[in-house]
Amino acid sequence: MIDADHAVRKVRSNGEIRWGGEMIFLSEALIGEPVGIAETQAGDWLVRFAEIDLGIIDRRSKKLRRFTAARPPRHQETPRPAAKSAPLDPQELR
């Protein structure tokens, strides 16, 4: 869902949108989809698809600076069960 205060642009067949008189490449995966654009306090433009923040259009370079996907936390290595050994002979335990 795009907020009411966002400008809406439809992603073109080459993955670009027109913004501020410039063609800005977003993604070919979004071809035909609407994206929302809202101004940030810094004067750049936040680009969103549904509830996903895709990146910021830099006001100087007119390029999309993508947000990187969050890395999953590193998992501590779980102890593995010891390898099964051959059954001990009761005579060897004495």
Angstrom distance (rounded) from CA 44 to CA 76: 39
Collapsing DSSP states into helix, strand and coil, what is residue 16?
Answer: strand
Collapsing DSSP states into helix, strand and coil, what is residue 93?
Answer: helix
Q: Which residues pair with 55 in a beta bridge?
A: 47, 66
Angstrom distance (rounded) from CA 37 to CA 26: 12
Going through 6-72 in order, the beta strands assigned E by DSSP cover 7-10, 16-19, 22-25, 34-39, 45-49, 52-57, 64-66
Highest mean pLDDT among 17-21, 65-69, 79-83, 84-88: 17-21
**Residue 11: what pLDDT?**
96
Residues 28-56 pLDDT 10s: 999 999 999 999 888 889 999 988 899 99
